[in-house]
A and B are shown apart, each in its own frame.
Chain A
Amino acid sequence: MIIQFELNDQLVQVETQPGTTLLEYLRSIELYSVKHGCDHGECGACTVLLNQKAVNACLLLMPTLEGKKVETLEKFSTHQHINSMQETFLKAGAVQCGFCTPGMLLSLEALDREKLDLNEDDVRDALNGNLCRCTGYVKPVEAALKALKENKGKEVQS
């Protein structure tokens, strides 16, 4: 079957099988920021944005994407620029192995789009679906609060 949806601001037409997940598709086209961690929607390493919300790509079947809007982390940086959340993560030491980082960044992006006034509970709620075994979430939460409060929308040099 052929489906059509928006992927990182581009309209794409994809020949797909009904049982293919969005995670499988994205990795097959080398959007490797989307990680494979558990296949059951538990770890959050495959988090993408679907119509502005953070979702697990491993749980989404391709046919359900018809007409929708998907964003992956690849969209948020160029060879010269990273966004303020990425910059803050770097400076705060919020990245250790970095495997869960793309998913965390997208969960926080969804939070940023959804809410104006944010507190630590909002950040922890947003990150609760992104399991991380390295950081204890301390520096990711610190970085998120800082970036969401102070640097909204600013682009910085990488």
Chain B
Amino acid sequence: MKVIGKDIQRVDGPALVKGKPVFADDIRLKDILHVKILHSPVAHAKILQINTDQAEALDGVVAIFTHNDFKPHYYTTAGQGYPEPGPRDMRILDSTVRYVGDRVAFVAAETLEIAEQALKLIQVKYKELPCIFDAQESITAGFALHPAEGTSGIHDIDKNIAAHLDAELGDVEAALSESAHVFEGTYSTPFVQMAHIEPHISLTWLDNNNRLVIRTSTQVPHHVRRIVAEVLDIPVGRIRVIKPRIGGGFGGKQEILNEEVVGAVTLKTGRPARIEYTREEELFAARVRHPELVTFRLGFDENQHLTAIDLNILEDCGAYGPHALTVMSVTSQKALSMYKAPNIRVNGDGVYTNLPIGGAYRGYGAPQAFFPLESLIDEAAEAMGIDPIELRLKNVFQVGDDIPIAKILGEGREGFPMVLYSNEIAACLKEGRELSNWETIRANQQSGRFRRGIGVAVAGQGSGIPGIDMGSAFIKMNEDASFNLQVGATDLGTGSDTALAQIAAEVLNVSVDKIIVYSSDTDMTPFDTGAYASSTTYISGAAVKKAAEACKLMILEQGKKLLQTDDAKIVNTDVLGSDGQSISFSDICIKSFYTDEQQQIMGIASHLSYDSPPPYNATFAEVEVDTLTGIVRVIKLVSVTDAGQIINPKMAEGQVEGAIPQSLGMALTEFMPFDEKGRMLNLDFNSYHIYSAKDMPELVVRFVESNEPTGPYGAKAVAEIPISAPAPAVTNAIYQAVGVRIKHLPVKPEEVLAKIHLED
């Protein structure tokens, strides 16, 4: 292959290194209004009265919106397939607030300062209501956080259960009772912030035809168009969503966050409007990873083969449930797609509380699955006296296996049968074992203040949502045999524009610089569900491949007509007739435009897959525990991934290298404490600590390539897979170093310290 598997430089790179104005906010609009949201200072209250008189009297205030300005309409902000699988439980502005950060009102003013000042002049009388800050308590609280009237899709309103799932294959209880060994453990993963450096930013204006243009930092432009049309009650055809370059999203932008707010301002005033979250707002009023309390029971026979997996999930979805069902569903799917057990069962509840809203964060439920699973597998290995790597190898799914959970549990409905066509997890474990010095480090007897240990964990993910994610691509040819590739797929910094250009270039026998990528703009690019669920390379990439093949076929047919032959083939960038005459791609296009057989040479195609082949990852973490302070430092981390055929090695490495510190952050440094009133306490990057350049351990990143027959050029996904295993690899390493088993993230030095002394 000419360009697949090569380190092609990013197509958007030159503009980015020059600091060109390519992001949503890098634009100046005349007479723009600045929009600010008044956030609720209380976690649960009925708004008795809002007085906006003083704010409206302030010079420069143009419009103020409260819940009285909108008729009750319930929707979901989740950028997902339609009809949405999750509950519709949110209004643009509501008369009840349900977490500290919930919207109370919004103001549009001539300047940002005036808008901020106006917020302070709005007088709100709240009747505070009892709050729930614990998912378990929420179910039995005896009062409902959401009304029955108007909402839909909430599983059990009275018990505050936003979403529920259960499924069973075989007979788990019987199998467990007959198993030679049964292990049980309860673990939890915390709230975590996506922490993209570019905040949520949206700008709107009316174009010359009175259509609403939304330029926004989003992963899901087509979903934004659909949801905003619904909320603001205007036709989809009256909205154009432009996605410029995006400054990171990691799931936080798989959501409409404020697009409907700023759109409402523009529709009312006729003026351009802008809303940008501050970092503080990002931290307390955007979206977070759902905390999950997970209990696994694992049954093994006398040969250490799994007989049963029983999985119980309690998910805290926060005040609203945009991703409540599907995150929990991914936890189950991924947990039950790693190891083969004849009996499997899952039972999960996604529960409302008066805390920040769970959204889509890279891994989407999988990190919540693998921290518990990989911890318990380690515990089981030790108890059964078997090497933890060997135990994993004994039980992982093999090529040719049917993965039954895929069929019984889809996205909010029954799924599709899935057979595994590629899985190099064994090779990943082998390579990681060598690169990490597994044997040597494990054999070292630790003593003294600083003790080292090594841990391993594996994980699987998916490649798109089977039967739901659809991507499409349009390619048209130009006179110099360059091609415009227009895709709805959304590059949010991942490099997908480049990967898709590589796929088109490979098909069309041209270099990548001949492919001019444009993504994405709902007026200009065909539909794509968007950048989430690890779908872009696998789904959108397959659409690009088909579109390029259609375009190539048209070049050939056109070439045959121009050569007046029925027998010709494409060689490099020429159409070669069997009689030896030939015509170049460029000449074919020029003649097709201007003189002969005139038409536009182009291709358009869509792709949907009923398969979602899992990429796999094995991570080895070497840690050092300070037995005097309980502080854990990661020294080295080896991450080996099977993501099928790698389209662009440097970009794929970049995905892994970026995912690792996100997982280490969840494990070690990123805390979201709340006070007794439900107010988040650390509202800046000084106290919400994401990994910096000096925090990083040594990283060793490798790929074991496999050939996935259902993927474009053998590719599977790579974006999410590396985020799940680092956290459990670290806690398994802590156990190996000092004998302390951490079951609740993040790791707290005081807990490590207390347990070390307990061991002593």
Interfacial residues, chain A to chain B (CB-CB below 8 A): 27, 30, 32-40, 42-43, 45, 72-74, 77, 82, 86-87, 89-93, 95-102, 105, 123-125, 127-141, 158
Contact = CB atoms under 8 A, between A and B. Distances in A.
A95 B17 contact: yes
A152 to B, nearest CB: 18
Contacts of A93: 7, 9-10, 650-651, 653-654
B610 interface: no
A33 B250 CA distance: 22
Nearest to A125: B694
B18 A128 contact: no
B609 interface: no
A143 to B, nearest CB: 10
A135 B685 contact: no
25 contacts: A33-B19, A37-B279, A38-B278, A40-B685, A42-B685, A42-B686, A43-B685, A72-B19, A77-B17, A90-B13, A92-B650, A93-B7, A95-B10, A97-B197, A97-B245, A97-B246, A98-B247, A105-B17, A124-B693, A135-B654, A135-B657, A136-B659, A136-B660, A136-B691, A158-B18
Contact of A99 (B198, B494, B692, B696): B198
B275 interface: no
B759 interface: no
Contacts of B699: 136, 138
B153 interface: no
A38 B692 contact: no
Contacts of A95: 10, 13, 16-17
B693 A130 contact: yes
A32 B18 contact: no
B416 interface: no
B196 interface: yes
B17 A86 contact: yes
A128 B738 CA distance: 30
Interface of B: 7, 9-10, 12-23, 25-26, 28, 194-199, 245-248, 250, 276, 278-279, 492-495, 650-651, 653-654, 657-662, 684-686, 690-694, 696, 699, 701
B654 A139 contact: yes
A40 B279 contact: yes
A17 to B, nearest CB: 10
A71 B657 CA distance: 31
B276 to A, nearest CB: 7
Given A96-B495, A133-B662, A90 B197 contact: no
Contacts of B662: 133
Contact of A133 (B14, B22, B250): B250
Contact of B12 (A34, A98, A137, A139): A98
A39 B699 CA distance: 31
Given A40-B685, A138-B657, A138-B699, A98 B493 contact: yes
Contacts of A27: 25
A124 B15 CA distance: 25
A77 B13 CA distance: 14
Nearest to B278: A39
B326 to A, nearest CB: 23
A32 to B, nearest CB: 4
A82 B246 contact: no
A134 B684 contact: no
B278 A134 contact: no
A136 B661 contact: yes
B199 A37 contact: yes
B286 to A, nearest CB: 14
A53 B654 CA distance: 29
Contacts of A96: 248, 493-495, 654, 658
A32 B654 contact: no
Contacts, number: 175
A133 B14 CA distance: 20
A99 B249 CA distance: 11
A133 B17 contact: no
Nearest to A86: B17
A82 B17 contact: yes
B601 to A, nearest CB: 31
Contact of B19 (A32, A134, A137): A32
Given A35-B247, A36-B276, A96-B654, A131 B198 contact: no
Contacts of A105: 17, 19
Contacts of A91: 9
B265 to A, nearest CB: 20
B9 to A, nearest CB: 6
Contacts of A138: 653-654, 657, 696, 699, 701
A35 B684 contact: no
A101 B17 contact: yes
A100 B696 contact: no
A97 B245 CA distance: 7
B650 A97 contact: no
A71 to B, nearest CB: 12
B88 to A, nearest CB: 31
Contacts of A86: 17-18
A102 B19 contact: yes
A89 B696 contact: no
Contacts of B686: 40, 42
Contacts of B247: 35, 97-100
A136 B657 contact: yes
A134 B18 contact: no
Nearest to B249: A97
A45 B701 CA distance: 27
Contacts of A73: 18-19
Contact of A37 (B26, B198, B493): B198
A74 B21 CA distance: 10
A134 B248 contact: yes
A38 B279 contact: yes
B197 A45 contact: yes
Contacts of A136: 657-661, 691, 696, 699
Contacts of B690: 131, 133
Contact of A38 (B19, B494, B654, B684): B684
Nearest to B19: A33
Contacts of B692: 127-129, 131, 137
A43 B197 contact: yes
A47 to B, nearest CB: 11
A89 B16 CA distance: 10
Contact of A97 (B19, B26, B493, B694): B493
Nearest to B193: A133
